[in-house]
A and B are shown apart, each in its own frame.
Chain A
Amino acid sequence: MLADAARAQEVFQATLREAAQLAADGEPPRDRAWFFRSARWRCVEKGEEGLQAEDVDLETEPLASNAPQQIGKLDPARLAIWISAAPDPQRTALALFYLDEFDHQELLSIAELKSTELAKLLSGARHEFQAWLDATVPIAEP
Chain B
Amino acid sequence: MIALSRNQRMLVQCAPISDQHVNDRNMRSAIHRARKTEEFAVQQNFDRAVAELVRAIPVPLEIADWVPSETLLTPPRRGWKRLARNPVILATGIALAVIAGILVSHVLDRLNRFPGETTAEHLLTVASSTHSMMLDPVKTTAGSLGDFFFMKHRLAHYDVPLEFADLKTLGCRVFDDEEGERVAQVWVVEKRMQFFLFPAERDPKTGAVKHFNGWRYVDQDRWAGVVQEKNGVCFMAAVRGREKDLAAYIAKKD
Does B88 reach chain A (CB closer than 8 Å)? no
* Inter-subunit contact B13/A103 (CB<8 Å): no
* Inter-subunit contact B14/A68 (CB<8 Å): no
Q: Across the interface, which residues of B come within 8 angstroms of A30, CB to CB?
A: 73-74
* Inter-subunit contact A31/B73 (CB<8 Å): yes
Q: Across the interface, which residues of B come within 8 angstroms of A71, CB to CB?
A: 46, 49-50, 52-53
- Tell which of A29, A98, A102 touches B54, judged by Cβ atoms closer than 8 Å: A98
- Tell which of A23, A64, A68, A115 touches B11, judged by Cβ atoms closer than 8 Å: A115
For window 3-39 of A, CB contacts with B under 8 Å fall at 5, 8-9, 12, 16, 19-20, 22-23, 27-32, 35
For window 15-57 of B, CB contacts with A under 8 Å fall at 16-18, 21-24, 27, 39, 42-43, 45-57
CB distance from B208 to the nearest CB of A (A): 64
Bound state CA distance, A30 and B73, in angstroms? 6
Bound state CA distance, A65 and B46, in angstroms? 8
* Inter-subunit contact A65/B73 (CB<8 Å): no
Q: Across the interface, which residues of A come within 8 angstroms of B59, CB to CB?
A: 5, 8
Does A53 reach chain B (CB closer than 8 Å)? no
**A80-B63 in contact given A104-B24, A119-B11 (Cβ < 8 Å):** no
Does A142 reach chain B (CB closer than 8 Å)? no
Chain B's interface size range is 35 or more
Bound state CA distance, A111 and B70, in angstroms? 23
* Inter-subunit contact A122/B49 (CB<8 Å): no
Chain A's interface size range is 35 or more
- Residue of B at shortest CB range from A21? B72
- Tell which of A20, A23, A27, A97 touches B14, judged by Cβ atoms closer than 8 Å: A97
Q: Is the interface of A mostly helix, strand, loop or mixed?
A: helix
Q: Across the interface, which residues of B come within 8 angstroms of A100, CB to CB?
A: 16-18, 21, 51, 54-55
For window 102-141 of B, CB contacts with A under 8 Å fall at none
**A103-B60 in contact given A68-B45, A74-B53, A98-B50 (Cβ < 8 Å):** no
Bound state CA distance, A103 and B54, in angstroms? 17
* Inter-subunit contact B66/A12 (CB<8 Å): yes
Bound state CA distance, A98 and B43, in angstroms? 13
- Tell which of B52, B68, B74 touches A35, judged by Cβ atoms closer than 8 Å: B68
Does B213 reach chain A (CB closer than 8 Å)? no
**A63-B46 in contact given A100-B17, A100-B21, A123-B13 (Cβ < 8 Å):** yes
For window 73-97 of B, CB contacts with A under 8 Å fall at 73-74, 76
Bound state CA distance, A74 and B21, in angstroms? 26
**A5-B60 in contact given A63-B46, A68-B46, A71-B46 (Cβ < 8 Å):** yes
Residues of A within 8 A of B (CB): 5, 8-9, 12, 16, 19-20, 22-23, 27-32, 35, 63-65, 67-68, 71-72, 74, 76-77, 79-80, 97-105, 107, 115-116, 118-120, 122-123, 126, 129-130
What are 21 A-B pairs with beta-carbon distances under 8 A? A27-B74, A28-B71, A29-B72, A29-B74, A30-B73, A32-B73, A63-B42, A64-B42, A71-B46, A72-B49, A76-B53, A97-B14, A101-B21, A102-B16, A103-B22, A104-B14, A115-B11, A118-B13, A122-B14, A126-B46, A126-B47
Given contacts A28-B73, A104-B11, A120-B13, 14 further A-B contacts (CB under 8 A): A16-B66, A35-B68, A76-B58, A79-B50, A98-B17, A98-B47, A103-B16, A103-B22, A104-B14, A104-B21, A115-B10, A115-B11, A116-B10, A129-B50
